[in-house]
Structure 1
Amino acid sequence: MDLNKLFHLQKNLDAKILEQNNLTNQNLSSQKILALQVKFGELANGTQCFSYWETKSPCKESTILDEYLSCLHFILSIGIDNDFTNFDLSSSYLSCNIIEQFLGLFIDINDFVICSSRDNYTTLFQDFINLGECLGFDDSEIEANFLEKNVLI
């Protein structure tokens, strides 16, 4: 996955959103973190991985991918705001328990809120990529759909 390209596209999208909504001089860090938490919840809801008390089918794979990409937009934007755009992700895919992946990501977000360090951001991003792998998405599919979605915005 070409992270430099994704960060560049996200930076342009962020600038466009800020300009269109007259937000150019506002700090939106808290809103972006909360939005990411909400989007993670929507992604989990789409998978229905937590629903043990009823049999409810997960959403279509394309819907789950769209929710995943929405999360990616916020993760990239948070990285841009903190100047955490220059790093490499390595594959550290260890287990595919989707529930544990989601719980870990919520912990990663809270860790980042408490200490907005490069290490905590990298962990959040890496765990997010691992979740994508658990959901059956590979890097090329994520990047291609991100680029396609970005063109439409």
Structure 2
Amino acid sequence: MSEVYTLKQLYEMQKELDVRIIKEKGLEGVDLLPNTVLALQVEVGELANEWRGFKHWSNDQSPRTKKIHSDRDAYLETNPLLEEYVDCLHFNLSLYRQLNLNISNYLHEDLSGDLTGLTEAFIHAFDWASKIYWATTTKRPSMAEKSLYRLTDVLLTIAKLLGFTRDQIAEAYIAKNKTNHDRQTNGY
């Protein structure tokens, strides 16, 4: 992928998808933040499950980075770990829209030096997502904003720790965004 995509560009794609879903599903005026926080937490769990590094009880702790799909006469290779990461990013970006926060104000802080590893990063992702929810229910917008920024820091740090490049993330994000639009067109 020749163009380097910014979070703002990916956010604009997510915003367009969100607006479409809200309109087509008749969700105008509905508080979707609790569902989005939970969806993000589910995706973080699915990402951790594909990573497998926390499964101390298993001899198979290798990340799931390759899956072969049969599509008519061709075989397609996908990266389930990257796909789950991108699902997390979709919901993370959706939260910016729901909280009316300008993603251009976000300044990334790399947390990889502050974390003991991916297990801790996943736990922090769950924690910061929960804090977003509780801050909104208790009407503390500055805490919700701080929590979303920290969640984004954690997710970007997870990407770094998993070895994903910006191009890989953007390419997978764009492909999944197209899939999500196709799903809406086909009555998902």
Return the TM-score normalized by structure 1: 0.90
Q: Which moved more, 1:31-40 or 1:108-117?
A: 108-117
Which residue is equivalent to 1:114? 134
**2:56 alignment partner, one of 52, 57, 63:** 52
Q: 1:41 is matched with which residue?
A: 45
User: What letter is aligned with 1:53?
Assistant: W
Structure 1 window deviating more from structure 2 (83-92 vs 7-16): it is 83-92
Q: Cα distance 1:77–1:12, how it changes in 2: closer, same or farther (>3 A)?
A: same
Give CA deviations for 1:120-142 in whole Å, capped at 9, x if unaligned: 11111011100010111122221
- In structure 2, C-alpha distance between the alignment counterparts of 1:38 and 1:145, rounded to whole Å: 19
* SS of residue paired to 2:44: helix
Cα pair 2:37 2:130 within 8 Å, conserved: no
Aligned to 2:183: none
CA distance in 2, matches of 1:27, 1:113: 11
Aligned to 1:140: 167
Gaps of 5+ in 1: none
What runs of 5+ residues in structure 2 fail to find an aligned partner?
67-78, 137-143, 181-188
Q: Say whether 1:88 aligns with 2:92.
A: no
Quote the Cα distance in structure 1 between the aligned partners of 2:81 and 2:53: 12
Establish whether residue 78 from structure 1 lines up as the match of residue 105 from structure 2.
Answer: no
Q: Distance in 1 between matches of 2:172 and 2:158?
A: 16
Higher-Rg member (1/2): 2
User: Normalized against structure 2, the TM-score is what?
Assistant: 0.74
1:59 CA drift (Å):
1.5
* Structure in which a larger fraction of residues adopt strand: 2
1:97 is aligned to 2:127: no
Kept after mapping to 2: 8 A contact 1:18/1:24: yes
Hey, what's the Cα distance between the residues in 2 that align with 1:89 and 1:63? 28
The number of residues matched between the two structures is 153
Q: % of aligned pairs identical?
A: 28
